């Protein structure tokens, strides 16, 4: 790229390489990839979002290896690679991968901490340990990620096996429009739990992404 501030932008390979070195690859959980993309578009941050399948959350023991593979693929093409996961049930396995590859991840135990803040989530569980948390993604995908994946559509009697110790459902709502509210009510009714709504917006996720950029 020319050193002259008035020269036109070069389209040479060196210019392309310089541009890629300034961009950041975000390996994101599929459950937060879309809101991450919306934040990137709103802020103009130099981030490319690379989602992994959201159903990995049902098999968290696979998350660390999936992140390792994707990070290895992306490292040569970006100035930095960061991880859009909290621990997310990996029990430290994701931290081991991040340490091995020099990656930074979202703070916290799970995405609920990112959206609402760890102190709010801790308070919710202190109030009622049997709290079942939802995000906007889980509200939209409840029929697929919960009902179908747990077999409740085929064996509704499993509801008592899975949810007998839960006492309420709390929706951590990023964009609580009427459509999502109706879906959240339907999800709570499906597993026979009272619904509470805690509006979080995306402030926490925005701050968490900014932290990854500055790390």
Distances (CA, A) of 145 to 1, 11, 131, 192, 203: 47, 44, 18, 17, 25
Phi, psi (rounded to 5 degrees) for 185:
-60, -45
What's the CA angle centered on 70, arms 118 and 134, to 5 degrees? 30
* Dihedral over Cα of 173, 28, 130, 163: its sign: positive
- pLDDT reported for residue 144: 94
- The residue with tokens 């879309």 is 34
- pLDDT reported for residue 215: 73
- pLDDT reported for residue 20: 59
Extract the runs of DSSP E, i.e. beta strands, from 18-79: 24-29, 47-52
Identify the bridge partners of residue 83 per DSSP, sorted by sequence position: 27, 105
Domains of the chain as residue ranges with CATH? 13-111+203-214 (3.40.50), 118-199 (no CATH)
User: How far apart are alpha carbons 178 and 171 in whole angstroms?
Assistant: 14
Total-model pTM = 0.86
DSSP-assigned letter for residue 1: -
Instruction: Enumerate residue ranges in the chain where pLDDT < 50.
Output: 1-16
User: How far apart are alpha carbons 100 and 186 in whole angstroms?
Assistant: 43
Task: Decide: 30 and 84 in contact? Cβ < 8 Å.
Answer: no
User: How far apart are alpha carbons 190 and 43 in whole angstroms?
Assistant: 38
- pLDDT reported for residue 12: 40
Q: What is the dihedral of CA 79, 85, 90, 91, to 10 degrees?
A: 90
- pLDDT reported for residue 18: 53
């Amino acid at each position: 790229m020319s050193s002259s501030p008035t020269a036109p932008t070069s389209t040479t390979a060196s210019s392309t390489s310089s541009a890629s070195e300034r961009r950041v690859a975000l390996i994101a959980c599929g459950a937060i990839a879309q809101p991450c993309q919306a934040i990137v578009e709103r802020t103009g941050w130099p981030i490319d979002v690379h989602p992994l399948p959201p159903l990995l959350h049902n098999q968290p023991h696979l998350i660390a290896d999936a992140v390792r593979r994707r990070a290895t693929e992306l490292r040569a093409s970006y100035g930095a690679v960061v991880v859009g996961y909290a621990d997310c049930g990996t029990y430290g396995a994701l931290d081991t991968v991040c340490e091995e590859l020099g990656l930074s991840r979202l703070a916290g135990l799970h995405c609920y901490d990112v959206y609402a803040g760890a102190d709010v989530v801790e308070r919710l569980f202190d109030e009622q340990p049997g709290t079942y948390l939802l995000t906007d993604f889980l509200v939209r995908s409840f029929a697929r990620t919960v009902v179908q994946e747990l077999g409740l559509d085929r064996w509704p009697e499993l509801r008592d096996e899975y949810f007998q110790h839960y006492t309420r459902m709390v929706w951590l709502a990023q964009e609580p429009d009427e459509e999502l509210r109706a879906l959240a009510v339907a999800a709570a009714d499906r597993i026979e739990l009272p619904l509470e709504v805690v509006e979080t917006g995306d402030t926490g996720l925005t701050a968490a992404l900014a932290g990854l950029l500055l790390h």
